[in-house]
């Protein structure tokens, strides 16, 4: 998944495609979570543009993939996902990393001295969920990438701010048919044969109160899509080496 380490993801693949150089943006602000009941680590939130709207508010530390219309997106839905290209199952991993609303159910129960509070952008809810995606398309899928397109505007769900972790996910820059460019969270799942599945972790970062249904906190629902073999953007250092190599070949050609 580009040159950055994605140890959080269990599925890996190498992408080969046309490469384009895109300037990096300012990295996401890092937050430290955990550390009281579990190991401390940093998260780098890239917030979605708005609840119910498509795209992230920025491109994080820089797009890792680029794609332009026309593109065939793969549909995804919960198992059994009848009529969908991909089927999804989810399992929340507990205790969660940081849970301001319920410090006792948290690896960081010392948040705000253990007093329940509403999650904020400075002290968000942070949790991981084990996802399984299965190929129901009936054909092999090559270099599959899962895209997080928006936060679904479910009826009755509060319009909380939600982010992806730039240290865990890549970012895809997508330009649609009307020349509008958006940034989506992306996670590489590799090649999937018909009926095959892959497991990986998804990290929720939420800055507002999660509703409770049937005695359980409910996470926001992501809008999802699949895409095959998007163009990989090289790391800045790698792009420089490629450029120097092409320049050297050009000089040799002139000689």
For 246, residues 6+ apart whose C-beta sits below 8 A from its C-beta are none
For 216, residues 6+ apart whose C-beta sits below 8 A from its C-beta are none
Dihedral over Cα of 188, 194, 200, 205: its sign: positive
Average pLDDT, the chain: 85
pLDDT at 79 over 80: yes
In a domain, 21, yes or no: no
Give residue 236's pLDDT: 67
Give residue 34's pLDDT: 87
Give residue 253's pLDDT: 54
Dihedral over Cα of 145, 202, 135, 54: its sign: negative
Counting beta carbons within 10 angstroms of the beta carbon of residue 46, is it exposed (0 to 12), middle (13 to 18) or buried (19 or more)? buried
Give the count of domains, the chain.
1
Mean pLDDT, residues 133-152 taken together: 97
Percent residues over pLDDT 70 in the chain: 81
pLDDT at 23 over 80: no
**In 75-98, which positions are buried (b, 16+ CB within 10 angstroms) versus exposed (e)?**
ebeeeebeebbbbbeeeeeebbbb
Neighbouring-strand partners of residue 199: 132
Q: Per-residue pLDDT tens for 170-221? A: 999 999 999 999 999 999 999 999 999 999 999 999 999 999 999 999 999 9
C-alpha 48/C-alpha 59 separation (Å) is 10
Quick count: other Cβ atoms within 10 Å of Cβ 4?
A: 13
In a domain, 26, yes or no: no
- Of the two residues 180 and 38, the one the predictor is more confident about is 180
C-alpha 205/C-alpha 231 separation (Å) is 27
Q: Per-residue pLDDT tens for 80-127? A: 989 999 999 999 999 999 999 999 999 999 888 899 999 999 999 999
In a domain, 6, yes or no: no
Least confident of 26-35, 44-53, 67-76, 183-192: 26-35
Give residue 19's pLDDT: 26
For 90, residues 6+ apart whose C-beta sits below 8 A from its C-beta are 78, 129, 130, 131, 132, 202
Instruction: Tell me the two tokens of residue 31.
Output: 């937050």
In a domain, 53, yes or no: yes
Counting beta carbons within 10 angstroms of the beta carbon of residue 34, is it exposed (0 to 12), middle (13 to 18) or buried (19 or more)? buried
Tell me the residue range of the domain where 211 lies.
31-254
């Amino acid at each position: 998944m580009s040159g950055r380490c994605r140890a959080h993801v269990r599925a890996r693949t190498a992408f080969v495609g046309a490469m384009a150089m895109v300037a990096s943006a300012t990295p996401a602000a890092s937050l430290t979570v955990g550390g009281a009941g579990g190991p401390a680590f940093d998260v780098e939130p890239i917030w979605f543009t708005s609840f119910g709207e498509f795209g992230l508010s920025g491109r994080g530390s820089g797009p890792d993939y680029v794609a332009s219309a026309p593109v065939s997106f793969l549909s995804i839905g919960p198992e059994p996902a009848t009529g969908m290209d991909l089927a999804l199952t989810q399992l929340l991993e507990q205790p969660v990393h940081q849970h301001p609303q319920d410090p006792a159910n948290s690896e960081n129960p010392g948040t705000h001295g253990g007093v329940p509070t509403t999650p904020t952008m400075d002290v968000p809810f942070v949790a991981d969920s084990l996802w399984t995606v299965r190929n129901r398309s009936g054909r092999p899928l090559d270099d599959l990438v899962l895209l997080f397109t928006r936060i679904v505007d479910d009826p009755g769900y509060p319009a909380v701010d939600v982010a992806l972790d730039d240290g865990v996910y890549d970012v895809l820059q997508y330009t649609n048919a009307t020349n509008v460019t958006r940034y989506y969270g992306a996670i590489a799942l590799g090649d999937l044969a018909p009926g095959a599945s892959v497991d990986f972790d998804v990290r929720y970062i939420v800055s507002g109160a999660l509703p409770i249904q049937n005695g359980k906190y409910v996470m926001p629902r992501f809008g999802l899509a699949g895409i095959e073999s998007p163009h990989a953007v090289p790391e800045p250092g790698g792009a420089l080496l490629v450029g120097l190599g092409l320049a050297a070949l050009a000089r040799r050609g002139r000689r």
